[in-house]
């Protein structure tokens, strides 16, 4: 399967390396980025791959069988529509869009193109492939500890990216949790409420950071999502599902404790790559294997992406309404 990658920033370059080095059944045949020097640097270590400056040329390229979109967020929907028009299978990184209307246009185009056939487009919610979250979901679904009543999902980072806004943090960062919580509970989010401290962190850089989301799901559970992009100390993801007779939490993987000079310490990753490399690899491998076998991949669907966009829109509406609960079905 010849894969073309749109975007060669941190995410696109990471995907290119994983596909080239760790995913079987695929080759990276082309990458596209307006910053052509960056695209050329990515393909320098991939024999036969070409660097292009235009995403449209990549989508139409005869040696690209499937497309991975890792471009800036505001381009995702437009490029996904182009891939649908070209009839090429697509894995679009989150989010699908910041706009509910735009996400719905993608859904309509996708349904018109494939009908009841194998989906063309899937969404990059890779936590669904992380071994820890997969096992957490299995234990919760077993019912051994009663009904889940809460999820506490925490996401902290070193610093926010350039140009981040309070709204973009919801759509770009919290969107993972807005997909994860209903996936863990097998119940859609029905209402969202957004809250932040009266005084943001001194590290926040103009954002209302950290913030907390309250999520009500159709099963009656009430869950929390904490996002703190400028926590400085490292990249730290935590998740606990509280059930009626027990709690199911993910333990951080790959932590090594070093004892020396009368102290014991463990390192914290700088970004997402050490923590979720295996989740991304497993997601990409399932996508490629399914494409080669002519079946539907077990990835998040484009409908899942549109649903997460609508939940994020409800969170932003709550932010603007001073923290009032906003029904997801009302969000635009």
Over pLDDT 70: what percentage of the chain?
A: 100
Cross-strand partners of 156: 228, 236
Residue 255 binned pLDDT confidence (cut-offs 50, 70, 90): confident
pLDDT score of 59: 98
What interhelical angle do 175-185 and 131-142 show, nearest 10? 30
**Higher pLDDT pick, 24 / 267:** 24
The answer to whether the beta carbons of residues 35 and 8 sit under 8 Å apart is yes
Q: Could you give the angle at the alpha carbon of 14 between the alpha carbons of 8 and 20, nearest 5°? A: 100
pLDDT score of 330: 94
Residue 28 binned pLDDT confidence (cut-offs 50, 70, 90): very high
Give me the residue label for tokens 């506490």: 152
* Buried-exposed string 8-25: b where 16+ CB fall within 10 A, e elsewhere: beebbbbbbbbbbeebee
Q: If you average pLDDT over residues 301-311, what whole number do you get?
A: 98
**Distance between CA 177 and CA 239 in Å, rounded?**
10
- Closest C-alpha among 141, 229, 155, 145 to residue 185: 141
**Distance between CA 308 and CA 96 in Å, rounded?**
8
This prediction has a pTM of 0.95
Q: Find the helix or strand (DSSP H, E) in which 38 lies.
A: helix 36-43
> Residue 213, CB half-sphere, CA atoms under 13 Å: how many?
36
Q: If you average pLDDT over residues 110-131, what whole number do you get?
A: 96
pLDDT score of 252: 75
**Distance between CA 215 and CA 268 in Å, rounded?**
28
**Distance between CA 271 and CA 61 in Å, rounded?**
33
Q: If you average pLDDT over residues 133-155, what whole number do you get?
A: 98
Residue 110 binned pLDDT confidence (cut-offs 50, 70, 90): very high
Distance, C-alpha 174 to centroid of its chain: 9
Average pLDDT score over the chain:
96
pLDDT score of 26: 98
Residue 7 has pLDDT above 90, yes or no: yes
Over pLDDT 90: what percentage of the chain?
A: 95
Report CA dihedral (161, 166, 169, 175) to the nearest 10 degrees: -170
pLDDT score of 257: 87
Burial of 188 (0-12, 13-18, 19+ CB in 10 A): middle
């Amino acid at each position: 399967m010849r894969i073309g990658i749109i975007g060669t920033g941190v995410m696109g370059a990471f995907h290119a390396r994983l596909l080239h080095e760790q995913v079987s059944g695929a080759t990276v045949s082309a990458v596209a980025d307006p910053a052509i020097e960056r695209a050329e640097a990515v393909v320098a270590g991939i024999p036969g791959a070409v660097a292009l400056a235009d995403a449209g040329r990549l989508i139409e390229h005869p040696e690209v069988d499937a497309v991975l979109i890792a471009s800036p967020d505001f381009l995702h929907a437009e490029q996904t529509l182009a891939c649908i028009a070209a009839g090429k299978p697509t894995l679009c990184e989150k989010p699908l869009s910041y706009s509910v209307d735009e996400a719905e246009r993608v859904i309509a185009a996708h349904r018109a193109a494939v009908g009841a056939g194998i989906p063309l487009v899937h969404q990059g919610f890779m936590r669904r492939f992380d071994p820890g979250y997969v096992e957490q979901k299995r234990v919760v679904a077993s019912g051994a500890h009663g009904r889940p009543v809460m999820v506490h999902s925490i996401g902290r980072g070193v610093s926010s990216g350039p140009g981040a806004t309070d709204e973009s943090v919801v759509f770009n960062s919290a969107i993972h949790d807005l997909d994860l919580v209903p996936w863990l509970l097998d119940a859609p989010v029905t209402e969202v409420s957004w809250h932040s401290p009266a005084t943001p962190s001194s590290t926040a850089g103009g954002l209302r950071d950290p913030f907390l989301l309250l999520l009500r799901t159709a099963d009656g559970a009430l869950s929390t999502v904490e996002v703190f992009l400028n926590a400085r100390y490292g990249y730290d993801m935590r998740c606990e599902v509280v059930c009626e007779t027990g709690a199911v939490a993910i333990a951080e993987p790959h932590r090594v404790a070093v004892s020396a000079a009368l102290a014991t310490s463990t390192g914290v990753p700088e970004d997402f790559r050490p923590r979720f490399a295996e989740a991304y690899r497993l997601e990409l491998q399932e996508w490629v294997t399914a494409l080669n076998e002519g079946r539907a991949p077990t990835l998040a669907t484009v409908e899942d992406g549109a649903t997460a966009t609508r939940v994020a829109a409800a969170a932003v509406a709550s932010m603007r309404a001073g923290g009032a609960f906003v029904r997801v079905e009302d969000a635009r």
